[in-house]
């Protein structure tokens, strides 16, 4: 009975702590959401009070003056292609690393693992992109994002692929399949949970990032939504109701994606951690 009470007390404490942490996140989000429907004078109290008059026109003004539709499609293009490219390259890299258990493959895996803690060198990356003739283009942002998220993706894929029996490869070899056929027809269908996890996490990280667009997307027509928010704030810094409306529209797509896809994130991370 004493052990049960001690465990119950700890569980209640952890639950209360998690509720408190959730409130610190939900509170500012509600202030932002409610403030987006208020007038420019009413929003200055930054409270959770309901608007006296719901100003839906704030959103229409933000869309018209903030160029969010173009920024939305740019964000979908960059985030989607970056996630797809990351899945293809890192899954193949992890397959080679896991199946070829040599010193070189272990060294390559360590190289990818170092990418989890190594900082990004912006100046060097800019010089490389300029040398390739891609500076200022959407292509440069896609390639950079795919590379930046490769370390974590390889870590997940390698952990999951270690649990796949190598006997499957040997049977496919006996049937006359090549290495690329084995990966596409045998391995790739088995790593669908990790594919979903990587796709969602890369998409969200790219969508919310502002650093790469600032340095590498010099043309305003290529800007993503977070960068458009940054520019919008510079123009309407005194109209917090419009800024909040802009932030709400920017956060809404990735929030919806996370709510519907969180089970895939948890299942993919659990599969990679336990089976690896």
Task: Please check whether residue 188 is in contact with residue 241, taking contact to mean a CB–CB distance below 8 angstroms.
Answer: no
Please give the pLDDT value at position 5.
55
State pTM to two decimals: 0.80
Instruction: Pick 66-275's CATH classification: 3.40.1280.10, 1.10.10.10, 3.40.630.30, 1.10.3720.10.
Output: 1.10.3720.10
pLDDT in tens, 168-204: 877 878 777 787 888 888 888 888 888 888 888 898 8
How far is the C-alpha of 136 from the C-alpha of 245, rounded, in Å? 28
Higher pLDDT, 125 or 273: 125
Please give the pLDDT value at position 185.
84
Task: Please check whether residue 74 is in contact with residue 224, taking contact to mean a CB–CB distance below 8 angstroms.
Answer: yes
Please give the pLDDT value at position 87.
94
pLDDT in tens, 23-68: 888 888 888 888 889 888 888 888 888 888 888 888 888 888 877 8
How far is the C-alpha of 73 from the C-alpha of 28, rounded, in Å? 27
Per-residue pLDDT band for 78 (boundaries 50, 70, 90) equals very high
Please give the pLDDT value at position 274.
47
What is the rounded average pLDDT for all residues in the chain? 83
SS3 6: helix
Residue 1 has pLDDT above 60, yes or no: no
The percentage of residues in the chain with a pLDDT greater than 90, rounded to a whole number, is: 13
Reading the block at residue 49, the tokens are 């009070």
Residue 237 backbone dihedrals phi, psi, to 5 degrees:
-65, -20
Interacting residues of 1 by C-beta distance below 8 A, sequence separation 6+:
none
Please give the pLDDT value at position 271.
58
């Amino acid at each position: 009975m004493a052990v049960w009470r001690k465990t119950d007390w700890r569980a209640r404490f952890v639950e209360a702590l998690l509720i408190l942490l959730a409130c610190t996140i939900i509170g500012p989000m509600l202030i932002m959401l409610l403030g987006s429907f208020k007038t420019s004078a009413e929003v200055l109290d930054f409270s959770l009070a309901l608007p006296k008059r719901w100003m839906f026109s704030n959103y229409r003004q933000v869309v018209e003056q903030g160029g969010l539709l173009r920024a939305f499609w740019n964000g979908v293009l960059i985030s989607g292609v970056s996630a797809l490219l990351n899945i293809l390259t890192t899954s193949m890299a992890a397959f080679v690393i896991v199946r070829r258990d040599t010193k070189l493959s272990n060294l390559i895996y360590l190289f990818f693992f170092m990418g989890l803690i190594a900082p990004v060198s912006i100046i060097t990356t800019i010089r490389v992109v300029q040398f390739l003739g891609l500076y200022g283009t959407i292509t440069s942002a896609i390639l950079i994002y795919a590379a930046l998220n490769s370390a974590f993706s390889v870590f997940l894929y390698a952990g999951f692929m270690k649990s796949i029996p190598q006997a499957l490869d040997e049977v496919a070899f006996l049937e006359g399949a090549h290495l690329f056929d084995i990966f596409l027809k045998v391995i790739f269908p088995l790593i669908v949970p990790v594919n979903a996890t990587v796709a969602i996490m890369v998409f969200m990280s790219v969508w919310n990032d502002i650093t790469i667009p600032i340095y590498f997307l010099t043309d305003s027509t290529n800007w993503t939504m977070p960068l458009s928010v940054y520019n919008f704030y510079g123009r309407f810094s005194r109209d917090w109701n419009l800024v909040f409306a802009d932030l709400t529209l920017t956060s809404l797509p990735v929030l919806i994606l996370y709510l519907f896809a969180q089970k895939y994130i948890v299942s993919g991370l659990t599969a990679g951690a336990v089976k690896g």
